[in-house]
Amino acid sequence: MDSRKDRTPGPAARKLVILDRDGVINVDSDQFIKSKEEWVPLPGSLEAIGRLNQAGYRVVVATNQSGVGRGLFDMATLGAMHAKMSKLAAAAGGRIDAVFFCPHTAADACDCRKPKPGMFQEIARRYETDLTGVPAVGDSLRDLQAAAAVGAKPHLVLTGKGKKTLAAGNLPEGTRVHDSLQAFVNDLLAEEDAKSV
């Protein structure tokens, strides 16, 4: 999904939120989400994306999808999952600007698989913006580490693997914790409102 046609350089592009996918937007599975039928949104997550859009945020997704590299599903199936995600988001009043994904396994030693920051660096290039302070939401330590590596602000949600991640500790400095994507959006927009008063 290419967003070059509408990218906005400079400070305006900073109004960006980066979301992990599985466990943040949709139900996660230790057996991987392998089809569009298995892709099921978490309650309220798509409406939360709509609220971000209404508040002037672009929403992009950065997701490890090693199921491709493992041969569990192909690129066409991944595309069908993301088409479903975008369609359901639109029905809930939201828009996902772009999906960045890593199809590799750990054995590939790529630069894009979180906790490496390659996907985040690509987002910065695509939107011609510095990611310092940009909120990045995930449910696993590697999501938070990738965000911290580029100066983005890590936010942990307790859906998906989030509770296990919190219990394990060693979160990047400054990580904020929220019950869900909805709760993250509530907190983010409340802080914005407080600053504007």
What's the pLDDT at 162?
98
Binding residue positions for Zn(2+): 102, 104, 110, 112
CA distances to 61, 103, 184 from 2, rounded to whole Å, are 13, 17, 26
| Domain contains 11 | no
**22 classed as catalytic:** yes
Distance CA 33, CA 19 (A): 17
Percent of the chain whose pLDDT exceeds 90: 90
**33-37, 77-81, 118-122, 190-194: least confident range:** 190-194
Q: Which of 2, 6, 22, 193 is catalytic?
A: 22
What's the pLDDT at 47?
98
| Domain contains 24 | yes
What's the pLDDT at 195?
84
What's the pLDDT at 29?
94
| Domain contains 166 | yes
Q: Which residues pair with 22 in a beta bridge?
A: 26
121-159 pLDDT, tens digit per residue, is: 999 999 999 999 999 999 999 999 999 999 999 999 999
Whole-angstrom Cα Rg for the chain: 16
Note down the domain range covering 115. 16-196
What's the pLDDT at 1?
38
How many domains is the chain partitioned into structurally?
1
14-44 pLDDT, tens digit per residue, is: 599 999 999 999 999 999 999 999 999 999 9
Alpha carbon distance, N-terminus to C-terminus of the chain: 37
Percent of the chain whose pLDDT exceeds 70: 92
| Domain contains 184 | yes
**In which residue are the tokens 């960006």 written?**
16
Inform me whether the pLDDT recorded for 3 exceeds 80: no
What's the pLDDT at 196?
80
| Domain contains 108 | yes
| Domain contains 2 | no
User: How confident is the prediction for the chain on average, in pLDDT?
Assistant: 93
| Domain contains 5 | no
Q: Does residue 7 or residue 166 have the better pLDDT? A: 166
| CATH code, domain carrying 167 | 3.40.50.1000
Please name which of 55, 79, 42 lies closest in space to residue 178, comparing C-alpha atoms. 42
What's the pLDDT at 10?
41
Inform me whether the pLDDT recorded for 9 exceeds 70: no
Helix/strand/coil percent split, the chain, to 5: 40, 15, 45
Confidence band (pLDDT; 50, 70, 90) for 11?
Answer: very low
Confidence band (pLDDT; 50, 70, 90) for 194?
Answer: confident
Q: Is the dihedral of CA 172, 174, 179, 184 positive or negative?
A: negative
Q: Which amino acid is at 54?
A: Q
Q: Which of 20, 28, 97, 143 is catalytic?
A: 20
**193 classed as catalytic:** no
| Domain contains 20 | yes
- Whether 185 contacts 46, CB under 8 Å: no
Q: Is the dihedral of CA 174, 180, 181, 183 positive or negative?
A: negative
Inform me whether the pLDDT recorded for 13 exceeds 50: no
What's the pLDDT at 166?
98
Binding residue positions for Mg(2+): 20, 22, 139
